[in-house]
């Protein structure tokens, strides 16, 4: 197996112009596949609230649920950098709350970094304090799903020059505070390219064009497994929804027609034992 990816590796990739490959995972077997496929960074995103738990937004997922899934992912991922998303209201109260919860991801779930959304004054202070204590932080700007109600829906951010300038300013502030990388979500491609060229740290885009230093997608979107909605920026590389549906329908047919299980899928009982059993069962003393 190749060497593990660290935040320094990602920085080096930016300097070399080698694009960063990032995806989400919420469980052990998916993490193993991503690891074996050579993915650089796995995000245990709070998108798991929707994709794995069936909620309408990311808000409902708890620290305990995020920890549970992050533990599963770190058991399966040895090579990629594993980043855990700080869920809604796990860091917005104060620095102490943020440090406590970020620490739990590192200590209890073996994540290597955490991610938070936005560049408020409190967030900048949280980043400084976490970085000081050796916890790498990934930033996230543009459309930040924890603020969906504040945005009035799922909307591209930074469309006007004024909004784009604010995004550039916030990106620089996060870099200055110490984030090792920055997710840019649903931002015009030109704006994401400008930010990527102004920052020394790598940007990772989702719906932000190909001028970022890397790309991330929700794995279940890429595989066509999560089909509640498909954002315009998702490219589907497989149609697992259909593949799974066909497989399950075939299984159901085989069960009903007794084609499953066959002899090789069953454990045999020898004729001698069967004869003996029948004697035992017919004798009055049996069982
Ligand atoms: O929660 C998530 O999956 C994310 C990515 C989409 C960046 O934040």
Please indicate, yes or no, whether residues 197 and 88 belong to a single structural domain of this protein: yes
pLDDT of residue 89: 98
Q: Which of 132, 185, 273, 276 is catalytic?
A: 185
Phi, psi (rounded to 5 degrees) for 112: -105, -10
End-to-end CA distance of the chain: 55
Residue 37 scores a pLDDT above 80: yes
User: Do the beta carbons of residue 42 and residue 81 sit within 8 Å?
Assistant: yes
Boundary residue ending a domain (238, 256, 272): 238
Task: Give the per-residue pLDDT at 283.
Answer: 87
Best substitution site from 25, 43, 117 to test ligand 1's pocket, by max atoms within 8 Å of Cβ? Answer: 43
What total number of domains does the chain contain?
Answer: 2
Residues 211 and 99 in one domain: yes
Question: The CATH number of the domain where 92 resides is what?
Answer: 3.20.20.60
pTM of the model: 0.95
Give domain status of residue 2, yes or no: no
What is the residue range of 279's domain?
Answer: 243-286
Average pLDDT over residues 103-117: 98
Same domain assignment for residues 124 and 175: yes
- 153 and 273 share a domain? no
Mean pLDDT taken over the chain: 97
| CB-defined site of ligand 1, < 6 Å | 24, 43, 45-47, 85, 183, 185, 206, 216, 218
Q: Are 118 and 105 members of one domain?
A: yes
Tens digit of each residue's pLDDT (9 = 90 or more) over 43-87: 999 999 999 999 999 999 999 999 999 999 999 999 999 999 999
Is residue 216 located within the same domain as residue 248? no
> How confident is the model at residue 2, as a pLDDT?
58
User: For the stretch 31-61, what's the b/e string if a residue is b when 16 or more beta carbons lie within 10 angstroms of its beta carbon?
Assistant: bbbbbeeebbbbbbbbbbbbbbeeeebbeeb
Residue nearest to atom 3 of ligand 1 (CA): 45
């Amino acid at each position: 197996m190749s060497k593990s990816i660290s935040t320094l590796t990602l920085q080096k990739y930016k300097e070399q112009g080698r694009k960063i490959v990032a995806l989400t995972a919420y469980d052990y077997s998916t993490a193993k596949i991503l690891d074996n496929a050579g993915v650089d960074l796995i995000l245990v995103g709070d998108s798991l609230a929707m994709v794995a738990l069936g909620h309408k937004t990311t808000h409902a997922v708890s620290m305990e649920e995020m920890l549970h899934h992050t533990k599963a992912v770190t058991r399966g991922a040895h090579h990629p950098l594993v980043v855990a998303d700080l869920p809604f209201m796990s860091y917005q109260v104060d620095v102490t709350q943020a440090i406590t919860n970020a620490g739990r991801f590192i200590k209890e779930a073996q994540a290597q970094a955490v991610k938070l959304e936005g560049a408020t004054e409190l967030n900048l202070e949280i980043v400084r304090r976490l970085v000081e204590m050796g916890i790498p932080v990934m930033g996230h700007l543009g459309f930040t799903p924890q603020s969906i109600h504040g945005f009035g829906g799922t909307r591209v951010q930074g469309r006007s020059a004024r909004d784009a300038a604010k995004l550039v300013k916030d990106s620089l502030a996060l870099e200055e505070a110490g984030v090792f990388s920055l997710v840019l979500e649903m931002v015009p491609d030109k704006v994401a390219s400008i930010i990527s060229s102004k920052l020394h740290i790598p940007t990772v885009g989702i719906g932000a064009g190909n001028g970022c230093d890397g790309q991330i997608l929700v794995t279940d979107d890429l595989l066509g497994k999560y089909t509640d909605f498909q954002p315009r920026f998702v490219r589907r590389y497989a149609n697992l929804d259909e593949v799974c549906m066909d497989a399950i329908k075939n299984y159901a047919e085989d069960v009903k027609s007794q084609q499953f299980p066959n002899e090789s899928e069953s454990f045999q009982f020898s004729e001698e034992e069967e004869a003996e059993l029948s004697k035992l069962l017919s004798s009055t003393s049996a069982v």
